[in-house]
Structures are given as C-alpha cells and as structure tokens.
Structure 1
Amino acid sequence: MPSREQLKQVIKIQSEIAKLGLDLGRVMQHVVEQTLSLVTAEGAVIELAEDGQMVYRAAAGIAEPHMGLRLDMSTSLSGQCVRTGEILHCVDCLTDDRVDKAACARMNLRSMIVLPLTFQDTTVGVLKAMSINVNNFSDDDVEAIGMLCDLVAASMYYSVKYDIEKLVHRATHDSLTGLANRSLFMDNLRNCHQNKSLGYNSLGLLMLDLDGLKQVNDVLGHQAGDAMILEFSKRLKGATRSTDTVARIGGDEFAVLLTPFGERDQLGTFTARIHAALTEPLSFQSHSLSIQASIGGAELPADGTDFLQLLDIADQRMYADKRRRKGDQLH
C-alpha cells in the first residue's frame, strides 16, 4: 500500500492535471516530473509505441536531455511491457538481459520499473521510473505509479475520445496553437542531427521568447494572452518555410528547427523575416497589443556538433537579445 504521503501527492497531481485540461502533452510532462518525487527516482519518461519503436514523448530528471529518443521495441524493456501489457521491474540493469543496455549506460541507470499505459484496451505506451541505484523501487512504489498511469490513461481518453489514431498527434502538438510541442521538436531535432541520409550536413535553430505576455495576462486577462499567443504562432508559421519545424515549447517559449539549412542560409535572414512579420500590432477588443519577440540562433556545425549544446547556445543568445532590447527601451 502506498504511504500516506504518496497518496496525498497523487491526489494533488490529479487536481493539477484537471487544470491542464485536454493538453495531453502537458499532462504527460507534468506526470513524469511528479514521478521523480513520488517514488524517489532520478529519471522518469513516458514512451509511446510508434511504428515498432518506443519514443520518449515526455521526460524528466536524468532522462530529460533524451527527449525524442527512439528505442527498438524488440530489444527494450518498454517494448516488452507494451507487448505483454504487464508491469515489469528491473532490479539491476547490468544483469538484466531484457533491457537496452546501451541506452541504460547513457543515463547510468541501474534499476527501473515500467508500467503499461492502456487506451481502449490497447497498451499504447509506458510510464517508466528510473534510478541510478540498484533495486531502488518497492512494490508500494509500483502501486503509486500505477495510479499515475490511470490519470494519464484518463487524459488520453478525454483528449481523443474514440480515435486512437489521433493519440500520438495530441501527445506531440500544443493544444492551443496546433504547433509542435517540445517532444516533437526534440524528436525532429534528434532525427535531423543523427540521420545523415537526410542530407542535412548543417541545420539552424532559433529560440524565441514572446515578450510582454505576462503583462498582458496580468492586465487584460488570459483571454487576451491566448489571443496574443495564437497571433504570434500564426505569424511565426507564416514567416517560416513548410519544411521547418515550428514549436511552442513552453508558455511564452517557441523554437524553430530550420531544415534544410545550407551554406547560403543565414540565421540573420530568418530572424529579420520573423521580426518583419511582427510589425503590425494585434487588435484585441479595444486594445492594441504590440507583438515582439526576443530571438537567439545557433547553427550546426559552425556553433558545435552536439545538438544539446546548440540548444543551449541559441537559448543564451535569445536571453542576451532580450537584455539588449530592454536596454534599448530604457534609452
């Protein structure tokens, strides 16, 4: 039986999930984040079964940098969980032949529990808790995480009702804007970085922060804030190409994966095009709302060859742009 504290935390998580509504991607991310403290895990993921692979669609802790990771269903513990629909417990990854040892080594994993996520009587994915310690999880931990699985399954049902084919789409797209979410963005970035057959010897990244959203929410309410997000998303999509991945990765955070990105392409050109698309203010009721964004970019291979490093560089440049823009406004 889960402890009293675990039960209280599950009830709290259930209340928080209700506030997230039908945004399945955010629900999944919230669940993995809460799993860490619920069972004292160093990492947690939700993997969905897609075309013979298990794909990291939500990740927290030591698993967070591996968002979008794909594992072969036939050689992973998660894949076995999907095939059998059974709860699986790995006491020590070094001696358990059911696990993908290479993937475990990348995160220094020693034990894990894997629970099936069931939608319409079909196991469509798993919720996995990970630890760097041997035999870290108890039977009570398994039962506590099982309650979270039920919450995710309920969110899946209410998000897509009877259409199982829409499940992955709802899990990988932002419910407000329809743009890709963080999971799909990281998946596409990882694939472009690793799959040389696509011919992408270089790629470009843009990180964007929608300026002034908090003030709009505070003064005019969240309806105005949502209108601002939707208009910004529309203009951002219009200023990019059909081959680019445009994503909303947080409340006021957006990202663009520029593919293809050749020698003639310049990050400054894409940045200028986006700023130009934001020139006109948004008319909301009787208010005129300025739409502006701070933007930072990075490219492979000029700024490095590790895609996580590229993300960090683009993020740092975006915050530097935000500080510069604030400084300009003071003069």
Structure 2
Amino acid sequence: MTDTPTDMPMIFDGHNDFLLRLLRDPVNRETTWLTDTGHGHLDLPRMQRGGFGGGFFAIYISSPDQPYDIDDMMANPPYSVPLPPLIDHVTAMPVALAMAGHLKWMERASEGAFRICRTVAELRDCQAKGIVSAIMHIEGAEPISADLDALYLWHDMGLRSIGPVWSRPTVFGHGVPFAFPSSPDTGDGLTAAGKDLVRLCNDLGIMLDLSHLNEAGFNDVATLSDAPLVATHSNAHAITPSARNLTDRQLDMIRDTGGMVGLNYATGFLNEDGAKADDRGWDPMLRHLDYLIGRLGEDHVGFGSDFDGAQVPAIMGDVAGLNGLRAALRAHGYGAELMTKLCHENWFAVLDRTWKP
C-alpha cells in the first residue's frame, strides 16, 4: 500500500537504473528489491510509500572504467567528458539478458505487487489496482546487432521502448557527451543501420527514446519516424545549457509531433550553473517544469527521474520523496488536472499514440 494522500496522483516515471543495481549485487537482490535498506533510490516498499505507480526500467550496459572521474568533472563546471568507446553486441547481449532476467524475477518475487506491462490497458489496470507497473526499456541499443534480428526477439520478450544510444557511439548513431556549457550539436547523425532501427521500431510499435542522442541524430529520427518524439529523461537547455538537455527547437519539434519530455531529476542537468550540487531545494525542478510546460504545453510533460542512475536533489532523497515533490507542485500553484497529467496521464497518452496492438 502507499502512504501517498488520496488526492495526490500516482507518479509514472520515464527512467530509472534499478536493474543496474541488481546486476552489480545479484547475491543480495532479494534484500535490495523487497526491503527498505535505505540504500540507493528505489525498492518496492519505498515505491509504495512514495506513490510510485511504475515506470520505464532501463537495461543499460556500463562502459569500462575510464581514466577520469566523471563525478568529479561534473561537480566543477565547465567540463567536457570524453565519449567512451563503442561496445559491440556480442559483449552487450549477455549482460542485457541478465538484466531482463532480473526484471522478470522482480515480477515473480513481488507476489503480485509488481507487473511488467506491454499495453496501455495493462498500465491502467495496474494503476487501478495499486500494482507497480514496469516497461522494459533498453538504454543504448548495443544488445541489438546491425541486422536488427534480435529486436524481434526483444519485442517478443516485452521490450516496448529503446534508446538508439547512451552517451557513447553505437552502430546506430552517436551519443551526446556530458558537457557544460555545450550545444547538443556534437557530431554525425544516424548511421544507415540507425535509420533502419527507426523504421523497424515504428513497424513494431516500440517507442524511441531520444534523451542521449545528439542533435543530428535527433533530426534524423524526426525526419524518419511516424511516431511522437519522446525524450524520457531530459531538461531545458535554455535554463541549463548542458549538451544532455533539449534546445527550444528540439522542444518545439517534440510538441509538434504530440511527443513527450520527462523531467530529469539529475542535479547537473537541473542547476543553472551545471554544477552537480544537491542543495538547491525544489526550485531548479520547478523552473524546468514551468519552462517545459510553457514551451510544450501541459499535455507533453511528465517525469523521468533517473533514479539509481544520478544524483538527485537532497530534498527529494529517494523515491519516498515523491510525496514532497507533489506537495511542492501544489504549493507552486499546479492544480489537480495539471498534476494528473504530469504525474501519469501524459505518459499513458503518448504511449497510446505510439504502441501498437
């Protein structure tokens, strides 16, 4: 059950990296998932307390250790983190399958409290019954080879969302680096295989996530895709000029396709000075939300926390802090209808426009 007040809507979230935590400590996965250890941002009890209705659970392949400290660089802007090297699909596939297995295990171990969903009807059913829902998402398409055959298998396994890249190159395109201040216009667009990936995702009804794609790749997807443009965990470049954030032109393109942006809670993408500092309260989140709503309209904005993958504001803490976020939004003047849209309805609506029966 949830401790969220009954007049506060459940939050559906655009991105988290909880599966990476399980991958790194599989021996203790039952404790990590089913008990409130106070570690990390997510576990089932804290999701229930915070009114976390569900979200996109990312399958992500970590880059090998690099000869620099990304956290230290991002704490002291300006910075420009070099892109890690490409990871081939032979290396990525077993890791991705292990993470998909963890997601399936989470469903079974929850004894009905958590469910992997493949349709919007299933997401709504979970919400009505107080079940935490999950969408299988791949962040960076390294587990898929250029021939795309594996994408059919992943779709059969439940994959409904994929990002062609993380912030590194793939056989499909080029990720945007972690850099501040910087434009997202940092390199070439999609490869021929990347353009084929877009077409096949459209055919299968798999949502394409543009959050880590550079501007040229973003433009290619916009040209090729017949689906809404979606960035699951990105913010406004006009406020925080990080390469990872979206320019006004990109936001306008997302709006014009009936797309969606999920607000990223990562402090380095929220704070106007680009610093990875967690002591700024709710104000940076509210500034970005106001801007995104003003640019996109209230039907095209939601949340994309990056829980367990980023430093979030200390006032948030972890997923149980979503109750504080809701209270801050209400105090900021967001009414009940807008709250419902932001918290989950906009996500359900864009998925309804994207997925296929």
- Normalised to the residue count of structure 2, the TM-score between the two structures is 0.25
- Normalised to the residue count of structure 1, the TM-score between the two structures is 0.27
Structure with the largest fraction of helix: 1
For CA contacts below 8 A with separation 6 or more, give which structure has more relative contact order: 2
Structure with the largest fraction of strand: 1
